[in-house]
Amino acid sequence: MSSAPASLLEVDLEVERRQITVRAGFGLEAGERLAIFGTSGAGKTTILESIAGLTRLNRGNVRIGGDLVAGKAKGEAALEPRQRRVALVRQPTTLFPHLTVEENVAYGIRRSPARGGVTELLERLGLTMLARARGAALSGGQRQRVALGRALASPFRVLLLDEPYSAVDVAAREALRLLTIETCKEREAAGILVTHDLAEAQAFGGRLGIIDSGRLLQMGGPLEVVLSPLSRRVAQLVGYGGFVPVPAVANRFYAIHPDRVILGEVPERGLVLSGTIRSTRPFGPRYECTVAQRSGEQFTIHLDEPAVAGEECTLTVLDPPIVVA
Amino acid sequence: MRTTIPAGNLAATGVVPGFPSAGRIVARGSTVLALLGALAIWLALLGPFAVLIQHLSLHSIRAALGPPGALDPLWVSLGASAIALGVMVLLGTPLAYLLARGRLPLARLVELGILLPLMMPPLVIGLLLIFLIGPEGTLGNLLADIHLTGVNTFFALIVAEFYEAAPFYILGAHAAFASVDPRIEQDATLLGDRPLQAFRRITLPLAAPGLATGLATAWARAMGAFGAVIIVAYYPRGLPNQIFIAFQEFGLSGALPFALLLVVAALPLPILAYLWSARTRSRVAGVEAP
C-alpha cells in the first residue's frame, strides 16, 4: 500500500502497439465516470486492458485505491488479477461458453448472500427466460447483456466497458445504461466506457475524453468537449464538418458543426457566412446540404427545409468554437 | 451460389435454361466422388475388424483363452498402460498447457523433443532405450540404485509404452489447450479466481473433449505398443507380445483370439471418449446432441 491515494483510479501509462504508441494519464474519483470516444484503432481497447493490468506497460503505472495494478514500482508487486476488483466487458464479448447465462452472471460472486441478487439482475437485463441457455445459443445483443451482467454482479471497484451496448437494440440501451450508471454509483466505483459512438459516450455521463492515434487529445464535460473542441482534429472527431479561417489570425479556424447552423443573418448569435448550396439530400427527418463559400471552402449543414442547389444563401453559425489547426 | 445472368449473355456463357450448367454437373460429380471416397476409406479402415470377426470361432477363443493364466497378458497390459497413462497425464498436462500458452523457453526445441519419439520407428526407440535404461545404460546405473531394471521388467514395459504413446497425449492436449481463448482465462481471474481455480473451472472443462481424445489415442497406442516393447520388455508378457508369440507358435488361428482380446480391451475407452467429446463439443457449441 502506498500513502493516501489521490484518486480511486490513477492512470499514467504508455504502451507500444504495432501501429501506434498509446499514452494516457488521468485519475478518477470513487463514483466518477469517464467515456473515451475515438475511431476504431485509436487505442481504446488497449487503454482498458492496460488498466485491468492485462497488458505490459512500456512506461508508467496504474493504481487502484493506491495499490499497483499495472506497471512497475520500486519494492512493490502488482496486485494479482483476482485482488484487483476490476470488471471488464470486452468487445467482442467473451463469455464462458460451457456455463449457462445464470452461471456466467454469478461467476464473480464469492459470498452466497450476494447470489440472491442474480435473479433480480437477470430480470433487469431481460435475461430471465434465457437463464439456462448457453453462450452459443445467444444473439450478439444477448451475449453483451450477459457479459455486462457478469461484470455488474462482481464486487468491482473499477468497471471497464468496451462498446458494451453496440449489439443491443437501441430501445433496450437506455435501461442497460441506467443500470450500469446506478450500479457504479451504489458501489462508489469508477467507470470507464470506450466507444466509437459519440452519443453513447455523452450519455454515459461524467467526463468525456477524445482519443486519436493513441493519444487522449482532450478531456472535459460531455457537452463542453463537443461545443468547445480545442483542436481541428478533436472538432473533426466530434462531428464538425467545416473550417473557416479566422481573419487576420494564423492557424486559427472557426469550426462549423452541421447541427449548429441556422438560415439567415443573426450576427448576435454567431458567425454570419454566405455561400452557394451545392447539393441537398435527405438526412433522417431533416436535410443535409453542402455549402460552398466564395473562397472555395466547403462544409455541410443540416436544415429543416430542403435548400435548392445553386441558390445563394446566408447562414449564421451558432457560437462557432475557434480551433487550432 | 447462384448468379443471375442477363438473357442476352446466355449464348455467350453456354448456359441453356432448363439444363444444369457445366459447373453444377462438376459440383454434383465431385460430391458423388467424395462420398464414394469416404465409403472406400471407411470400408478399408473397418475391413480388418470385419475379417477378425469373420475368422474367429467360439471354439478357438475358448481354446486360447480358457486355460488358467491365459488372461495374464491382459492384466499386464492393462496395468502397465494405466500407469503409463497416469504418468503421462501428470507430467504431460502441465507441459502441454505451458506450451499452448507460449510460456516455455525454447518452446520449439521442447516440441521437437515431443515429436521425436513419434517420428522414430518404435523398434529403434526400443534399441535406444536399452542404452538409456538397460543395466549398462547411463540412467540404468541410477535405476539400479533404487532396485529398478530397465530390461524385461514391468517397469521397462511401462517406459516403452510411455515412449510410444506419450507424444499422442501431449500433442492432443496442446491442441486442446490452444483452442481455449486465453482471454476468458483472464476474465475468470479478474472475476476472482486464483490461476489454478480458473484452470479447473474454465480451461479444463473447455479443453476436456480434446484432452479426452488425446488420452484415448494414447491409451490405444500404449495398449498396442509393440515395437519398443518387444526389445526392452519381452517379459512380462503383455497382450501385443502374446499375439506375436501365439502367431509364431500356432499361426493365425492361435493369435486371433488374443487380437480380439486386445481390441476389446483397448477400444472401449477411445470410443467412449470420442462419443463424450462429440457430445460435449456440440453442447458448448449450442447444438443439442442426440
Q: Which of A90, A110, A136 sits opposite B192 (nearest CB)?
A: A110
Across the interface, of A82, A136, A137, the residue whose CB is closest to B189 is A82
The dihedral through the CA atoms of B245, B81, B207, B195 has a sign that is negative
What integer best gives the mean pLDDT of chain B?
87
- Quick one: pLDDT at residue A2? 46
A53-59: long-range contacts, CB 8 A cutoff, minimum separation 24: A53/A78, A53/A79, A53/A81, A53/A84, A53/A86, A54/A81, A54/A88, A54/B186, A54/B190, A55/A15, A56/A15, A57/A13, A57/A14, A57/A15, A58/A14, A58/A15, A58/A16, A58/A21, A59/A13, A59/A14
Residue B190, all three cell numbers? 479478474
Determine the number of helices (DSSP H) and then strands (DSSP E) in chain A.
Answer: 9, 18
pLDDT in tens, A236-263: 999 999 999 999 899 999 999 999 999 9
Q: Which of B186, B188, B191 sits opposite A54 (nearest CB)?
A: B186
CA nearest to A81, candidates A158, A3, A186, A22: A158
pTM: 0.84
Confidence (pLDDT) at B10: 45
Percentages of chain A per state (helix, strand, coil), in multiples of 5: 25, 35, 40
> Quick check: B183 and A82 CB within 8 A?
no
Residue B96 has pLDDT above 70, yes or no: yes
pLDDT digits (tens, 9 = 90+) for B187-244: 999 999 999 999 999 999 999 999 999 999 999 999 999 999 999 999 999 999 999 9
Residue A285 has pLDDT above 90, yes or no: yes
- Does residue A33 belong to the interface with chain B, where contact is any CB pair within 8 Å? no
Lowest mean pLDDT among A114-118, A307-311, B22-26, B133-137: A114-118
Please, what is the average pLDDT of chain A?
92
Interface check A248 vs B, CB under 8 A: no
Closest residue to B192, CB basis, from A94, A97, A154: A154
User: What whole-number distance in Å separates Cα of residue A80 and Cα of residue A85?
Assistant: 10
- Chosen for mutation from A46, A85, A98 (greatest number of chain B CBs closer than 10 Å) is A98
Interatomic CA distance for residues A183 and A180, integer angstroms: 5
Interchain CB distance below 8 Å, A96 and B184: yes
Q: Identify the pLDDT of residue A297.
A: 86
pLDDT tens for residues A123-161?
A: 999 999 999 999 888 999 999 999 999 999 999 999 999
B286, A134: Cβ pair inside 8 Å?
Answer: yes
Up-side HSE of residue B226: CA atoms within 13 Å toward CB? 11
Distance CA A298, CA A313 (A): 13
A23-47: pLDDT as tens digits: 999 999 999 999 999 999 999 999 9
User: Is the peptide bond prior to A92 cis by the omega test (within 30 degrees of 0)?
Assistant: yes
What is the chain B residue with the closest CA to A100? B284
* pLDDT band of B6, cuts 50, 70, 90: very low
**pLDDT value of residue B5:** 44
Q: Which residues contact B57 (CB under 8 A, 6 or more apart)?
A: none
Query: Residue A201 in contact with residue A220, Cβ under 8 Å?
Result: no
Taking residues B16-32, report their average pLDDT. 78
Contact of A80 with chain B, judged by CB distance below 8 Å, is answered with: yes
pLDDT at site A121? 94
CA distance B249 to B57: 19
Q: Residue A106: its pLDDT value, please?
A: 94
Radius of gyration of chain B (CA): 26
pLDDT at B4: 45
pLDDT attached to residue B19: 64
Q: Kindly determine whether residue B181 and residue A108, on different chains, have CB atoms separated by under 8 Å.
A: no
The Cα of B190 is separated from the nearest Cα of chain A by a number of Å equal to 5
The shortest CB-CB distance from B191 to any of A134, A135, A154 is to: A154
Interface test with A, best of B101, B179, B184, B190 (most A CBs within 10 A): B190
Residue B70's closest CA among B62, B78, B82? B62
Position A6 pLDDT exceeds 80:
no
Q: For residue B20, what pLDDT is reported?
A: 67
Confidence of residue B51 (pLDDT cuts 50, 70, 90): confident
Give burial (CB, 10 Å; 0-12/13-18/19+) of B271.
exposed
pLDDT at A63: 95
Prediction ipTM score: 0.89
Spatial contact of A148 and A89, defined as CB atoms under 8 Å apart: yes
- What is the rounded distance in angstroms from the CA atom of residue A203 to the CA atom of residue B160? 67
**Averaged over B12-35, what is the pLDDT?**
74
**Cα gap B177→A231, rounded to integer Å:** 48
Question: How distant is the Cα of B273 from the closest Cα of chain A, in angstroms?
Answer: 18
Asked if pLDDT for residue A176 goes beyond 90, the answer is yes
Amino acid at B86: G
